[in-house]
């Protein structure tokens, strides 16, 4: 008998394993970075820790998902390639990655400006970013929300992904899940209420 | 009752947010709704799980390659044997390699929905399926549970059948969900329906009418790639595999609405990703006369290496590359035995 969602759980497993919520601080982070410098396979740990942060940063500064994915991918590939040159001087690894991201965004904006001079579209910001201030808190907030989606009950998580990532209609999601449209709207509400509550919990 | 109405109100806000390009939702009078709207606003940028996983495995592959560079040797001196026909008997030039879990259940789906015939199954020590092969019509689908290196990747497959309505009904019975029932209104002129199976694969089930059969007749199984910048795939396949574009339909602004591309004795189809049919980077098995040459050509055309050419224990000269869209191509030349 073929069941409905055989592969889903395992697919999402990576996101479910632990909450790499906070940046590892000080000595811990140094150990992780040095481990990855010694063995590139250990870069995976850094990726798990920083993916949402980098993606949130990039996505908040480009217009579309495809570009956000391209640039996020570029950041981690560069991070991996340049890892040997990262020196521990108390600069958090996250800041180092976000600097790579900021450069990638600026380069992308320059390329886009050359290729498509579209007067109606204001260019994406080609100025250095303030990586310390209130904007960083907003990025951390977004990254944390992305991580929390992975912790939602399975069906709520699925509604969130189908609605917000795949941008399916309520009717379509209802059909796919075998539920009524009203039930899907309730699941959407509960998912967002859960996320909001946990964000508050995390801050309180 | 009050809760239900909040669910409705929230969805109105979400709907407005998703269909418009406005960066911010309207200010909501209800403070609870305003809080939730801000959550919804952030969720619009939620990264795709598939992207997160794909980038991770990409980086793992990169990392393992950078470890191996010091010791790896090129195999330039070693010419592949060409004593036999370069395609493994039973396979054509292009075969979808579907890695989904559990692969054993997927094989049951292929049998129930498409009257697939299991031709081989190689279990891994842990009982999962390392490799299997199911014939459908005059084509085949290769199957595996995959592993860290070759992760789960459902794909889209165009299947030609005698009776699309009956096949469509069987897929639903076997657990698939419908995109749409077979219709005569499909732009191809074929009678054409579409479903998604429980493992995430798309199946386009069609009976040929308008379509011109490919080389050596019509193939039952054709991979269908939905791509961004689909037009760039054609020169890539030409350069890497000596492919030939057999029919390319473009929109006035240059997007590929549909193209059929021949490699050897089989075809695949591409189009510009649209609507529900978004890119699904997948695995493809392609038989070529000279794996080493195709591997080098693919890298020259912009692919990245997954695996350098080697003589695989199962009797193929085999290599792996990943194209710019994230599809993996297992390049192989059958060496006999």
Report pLDDT digits (tens) over A123-132: 444 444 555 6
Q: Is residue A6 over pLDDT 50?
A: no
Q: What is the pLDDT of residue B231?
A: 93
Q: What are phi and psi of B156, to 5 degrees?
A: -110, 135
State how far the Cα of B281 lies from the Cα of B284, in Å rounded to an integer.
10
Give the end of a domain, one of A100, A130, A160: A130
Q: Is residue B70 over pLDDT 70?
A: no
Q: Is residue A24 over pLDDT 50?
A: no
| Coil/strand/helix, residue A19 | coil
State the average pLDDT over residues A110-123: 59
Inter-chain CB proximity B52 and A15 less than 8 Å = yes
Do A123 and A66 belong together in one domain?
Answer: yes
Q: What is the pLDDT of residue B4?
A: 52
Give the end of a domain, one of A83, A102, A130: A130
Nearest chain B Cα to A66, which residue?
B228
The least confident of A16-20, A50-54, A68-72, B139-143 is A16-20
Do A57 and A120 belong together in one domain?
Answer: yes
**Is the pLDDT higher at A140 or at A110?**
A140
The first and second tokens of residue A60, run together, are 């908040």
Query: A residues 132-191 near B, CB within 8 Å?
Result: 141-142, 145-146, 149, 160-161, 163-168, 170, 175-176, 182, 185-186, 188-189
State the average pLDDT over residues B80-86: 46
Buried b (16+ CB within 10 A) or exposed e, B294-306: bbbbbeebebebb
The least confident of A29-43, B26-40, B234-248, B315-329 is B26-40
Percentage of chain B beyond pLDDT 70 is 87
State the average pLDDT over residues B156-174: 93
The least confident of A2-11, A20-29, B54-63 is A2-11
> Does residue A11 belong to any structural domain of this protein?
no
Do A185 and A123 belong together in one domain?
Answer: no
CATH code at position A175: 1.10.10.10
Inter-chain CB proximity B62 and A195 less than 8 Å = no
Q: Domains in chain A: how many in total?
A: 2
Highest mean pLDDT: which range of A8-22, B26-40, B102-116: B102-116
Mean predicted lDDT score pLDDT of chain B: 84
Give the domain range for residue A123: 21-130
Enumerate the residues of chain A whose CB falls inside 8 A of the CB of residue B18: 163-164, 167
Number of cross-chain residue pairs from A and B with Cβ atoms under 8 Å apart: 156
> Does residue A8 belong to any structural domain of this protein?
no
Give the end of a domain, one of A130, A159, A187: A130
Closest approach of A36 to chain B, Cα-based (Å):
10
Percentage of chain A beyond pLDDT 70 is 75
| Terminal CA-CA length for chain A | 47
> Does residue A197 belong to any structural domain of this protein?
yes
B130, B123 contact by CB (below 8 A): yes
Query: A residues 48-107 near B, CB within 8 Å?
Result: 48, 51-52, 55-56, 59-60, 65-66, 68-69, 72-73, 76-77, 80
Do A120 and A62 belong together in one domain?
Answer: yes
| Coil/strand/helix, residue B81 | coil
Instruction: Tell me if chain A has a CB within 8 Å of the CB of B48.
Output: yes
Q: Is residue B68 over pLDDT 80?
A: no
Instruction: Tell me if chain A has a CB within 8 Å of the CB of B177.
Output: yes
State the average pLDDT over residues B192-206: 95
Query: B residues 77-106 near A, CB within 8 Å?
Result: 100-102, 105
Do A67 and A106 belong together in one domain?
Answer: yes
B287, B264 contact by CB (below 8 A): yes
Q: What is the pLDDT of residue A204?
A: 36
Mean predicted lDDT score pLDDT of chain A: 78
Q: Is residue A51 over pLDDT 90?
A: yes
> Does residue A120 belong to any structural domain of this protein?
yes
Helix (H) or strand (E) segment spanning residue B286:
strand B283-287
The first and second tokens of residue B69, run together, are 């560079």
> Does residue A137 belong to any structural domain of this protein?
no
Q: What is the pLDDT of residue B101?
A: 92
Do A30 and A99 belong together in one domain?
Answer: yes
Question: Which tens digits make up the pLDDT trace of B288-307?
Answer: 989 999 999 999 999 999 98
Do A168 and A204 belong together in one domain?
Answer: yes
Q: Is residue B322 over pLDDT 90?
A: yes
Peptide bond into B35 cis (omega under 30): no
Residue A122 banded pLDDT, cuts 50, 70, 90: very low
Q: Is residue B182 over pLDDT 90?
A: yes
> Does residue A43 belong to any structural domain of this protein?
yes
Q: What is the pLDDT of residue A124?
A: 47
Compute how many other C-beta atoms are within 10 angstroms of the C-beta atom of residue B216.
12
Percentage of chain B beyond pLDDT 90 is 48
The first and second tokens of residue B253, run together, are 């602004």
Q: Cα–Cα–Cα angle for A95, A97, A102, nearest 5°?
A: 90
Q: What is the pLDDT of residue B75?
A: 32
Residue B217 banded pLDDT, cuts 50, 70, 90: low
State the average pLDDT over residues B233-242: 94
State the average pLDDT over residues A137-151: 93
Distances (CA, A) of B113 to B135, B158, B167, B168, B172: 13, 14, 7, 8, 8
State the average pLDDT over residues A180-192: 95
State how far the Cα of A139 lies from the Cα of A105, in Å rounded to an integer.
15
Inter-chain CB proximity A196 and B35 less than 8 Å = yes
State the average pLDDT over residues A184-190: 95
Residue A1 banded pLDDT, cuts 50, 70, 90: very low
Q: Is residue A18 over pLDDT 70?
A: no
State how far the Cα of B184 lies from the Cα of B195, in Å rounded to an integer.
16
The least confident of A100-109, B14-23, B100-109 is B14-23
Q: What is the pLDDT of residue B134?
A: 94
- Conformational region of residue B200, where left means phi above 0, alpha means psi within -120 to 50, and beta covers everything else: left
> Does residue A112 belong to any structural domain of this protein?
yes
CATH code at position A100: 1.10.1740.10
Do A27 and A124 belong together in one domain?
Answer: yes
B319, B310 contact by CB (below 8 A): yes
Instruction: Characterize the bridge pairing of strands B202-207 and B156-160.
Output: parallel
Do A33 and A73 belong together in one domain?
Answer: yes
B166, B152 contact by CB (below 8 A): no
The least confident of A25-29, B246-250, B269-273 is A25-29
Question: Which tens digits make up the pLDDT trace of B91-145?
Answer: 888 999 999 999 999 999 999 999 998 988 988 888 899 899 999 988 899 999 9
Do A110 and A195 belong together in one domain?
Answer: no
Distances (CA, A) of A130 to A33, A67, A73, A125: 24, 21, 22, 12
Q: What is the pLDDT of residue B67?
A: 53
The least confident of A36-50, A106-120, B164-178, B323-337 is A106-120
> Does residue A65 belong to any structural domain of this protein?
yes
Do A28 and A87 belong together in one domain?
Answer: yes
Q: What is the pLDDT of residue A132?
A: 60
Q: Is residue B214 over pLDDT 80?
A: no
Do A55 and A121 belong together in one domain?
Answer: yes
Distances (CA, A) of B47 to A57, A66, A165, B163: 12, 10, 7, 40
Inter-chain CB proximity B47 and A146 less than 8 Å = yes
Q: Is residue A10 over pLDDT 50?
A: no
């Amino acid at each position: 008998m073929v069941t409905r969602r055989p592969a889903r759980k395992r697919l999402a497993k990576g996101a479910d394993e632990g909450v790499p919520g906070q940046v590892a601080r000080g000595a811990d982070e140094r150990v992780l970075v040095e481990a990855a410098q010694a063995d590139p396979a250990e870069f995976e740990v850094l990726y798990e820790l920083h993916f949402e942060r980098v993606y949130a940063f990039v996505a908040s500064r480009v217009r579309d998902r495809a570009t956000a994915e391209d640039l996020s991918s570029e950041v981690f590939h560069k991070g991996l390639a340049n890892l040997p040159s990262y020196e521990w001087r108390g600069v958090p690894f996250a800041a180092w990655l976000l600097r790579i991201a900021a450069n990638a965004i600026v380069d992308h904006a320059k390329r886009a400006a050359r290729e498509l001079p579209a007067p109606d579209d204001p260019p994406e910001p080609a100025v250095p970013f303030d990586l310390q201030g209130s904007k960083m808190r907003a990025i951390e907030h977004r990254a944390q929300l992305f991580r929390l989606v992975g912790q939602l009950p399975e069906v709520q998580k699925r509604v969130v992904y189908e609605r917000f990532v795949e941008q399916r209609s309520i009717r379509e999601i209802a059909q796919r899940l075998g539920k009524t449209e009203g039930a899907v709207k309730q699941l959407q509400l509960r998912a967002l209420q859960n996320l909001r509550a946990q964000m508050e919990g995390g801050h309180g | 009752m009050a809760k239900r109405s909040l669910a409705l109100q929230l969805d109105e806000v979400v709907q407005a947010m998703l269909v418009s390009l406005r960066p911010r939702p309207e200010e909501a009078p209800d403070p609870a709704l305003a809080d939730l709207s801000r959550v919804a606003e952030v969720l619009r940028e939620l990264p795709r799980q598939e992207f997160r996983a794909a980038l991770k495995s990409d980086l793992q592959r990169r990392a393992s390659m950078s470890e191996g560079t010091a010791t790896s040797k090129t195999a330039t001196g070693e010419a592949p044997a060409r004593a036999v026909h370069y395609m493994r008997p039973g396979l054509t030039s292009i075969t979808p390699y579907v890695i989904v879990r559990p692969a054993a259940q997927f094989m049951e789906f292929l049998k129930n929905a498409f009257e697939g015939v299991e031709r081989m199954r190689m279990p891994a020590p842990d009982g999962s399926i390392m490799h299997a092969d199911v014939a459908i019509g005059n084509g085949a689908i290769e199957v595996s549970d995959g592993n860290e290196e070759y992760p789960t990747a459902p794909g889209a497959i165009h299947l030609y059948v005698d009776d699309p309505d009956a096949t469509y009904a069987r897929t639903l019975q076997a657990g698939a969900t419908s995109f749409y029932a077979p219709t005569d209104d499909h732009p191809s002129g074929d009678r054409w329906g579409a479903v998604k199976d429980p493992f995430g694969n798309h199946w386009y089930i069609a009976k040929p009418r308008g379509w011109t059969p490919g080389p050596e007749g019509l193939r039952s199984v054709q991979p269908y790639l939905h791509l961004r910048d689909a037009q760039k795939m054609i020169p890539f396949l030409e350069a890497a595999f000596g492919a030939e574009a057999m029919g390319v339909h473009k929109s006035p602004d240059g997007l590929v609405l549909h193209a059929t591309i021949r490699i050897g004795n089989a075809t695949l189809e591409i189009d510009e990703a649209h609507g529900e049919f978004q890119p699904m980077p997948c695995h493809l098995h392609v038989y070529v006369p000279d794996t080493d040459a195709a591997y080098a050509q693919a890298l020259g055309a912009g692919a990245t290496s997954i695996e350098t050419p080697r003589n695989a224990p199962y009797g193929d000269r085999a290599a792996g590359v990943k194209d710019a869209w994230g599809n993996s191509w297992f390049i192989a030349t059958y060496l006999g035995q």
